[in-house]
Structure 1
């Protein structure tokens, strides 16, 4: 059983190197914080997802289940799967803090990263 001395030192365990600044070690860690922009984006994404789910009903009634299934398979195999593989390759080759926006800023152009929705350079 753990005693109180085991819980005295609250250390952040990361793979990033620590930089000594005087007698305090600073660590760049990701903070768990949602801003209003993040909440609005999740709400919009949820509304779009529900709209697409409800919109499937009309296509299902007109074309049937086979056409709908083939359409989803085509879209998934031709667009979503290659995109996921490419993003995985970029993240494995260049692991940086951030997301796809940071990769676009770093690998293509800062203007593309800004146009995708966020400017990581400022």
Structure 2
């Protein structure tokens, strides 16, 4: 029976010894708190992913905003050019109308002067004719 107790003690000691060695080797492989470190690494990875995603979204937003600004600028320039050509066309039309009005007034004035000249000539003839009648 003493031998039986000795065998049991040896088995218990070997189990304890093996268990402590296993714990020691486990600590060498994964130091204490390594699970927390792994969680921290995972959290850091998630944070860096979120940060990178946020930066990419900001870049994308900035590019979209820049594209919209460029599009708006182009549209506004096209509108300015369109209005400018319309204004120039209207200005030229007004200029042409003024020129035609001036020409028309010149023609009317010329006709009035010619008419007045004819009236004077005819009135002189009439007055000469009256003088000759009264002289008789």
Instruction: Report if TM-score (shorter chain) is over 0.5.
Output: no
Flag the structure with larger Rg: 2
**Larger relative contact order (CA 8 Å, sep ≥ 6):** 1
Q: Which structure shows the bigger proportion of residues in strand conformation? A: 1
TM-score range, shorter chain: under 0.3
Question: Which protein has the bigger helix share?
Answer: 2
Question: TM-score of the superposition, structure 2-length normalised?
Answer: 0.22
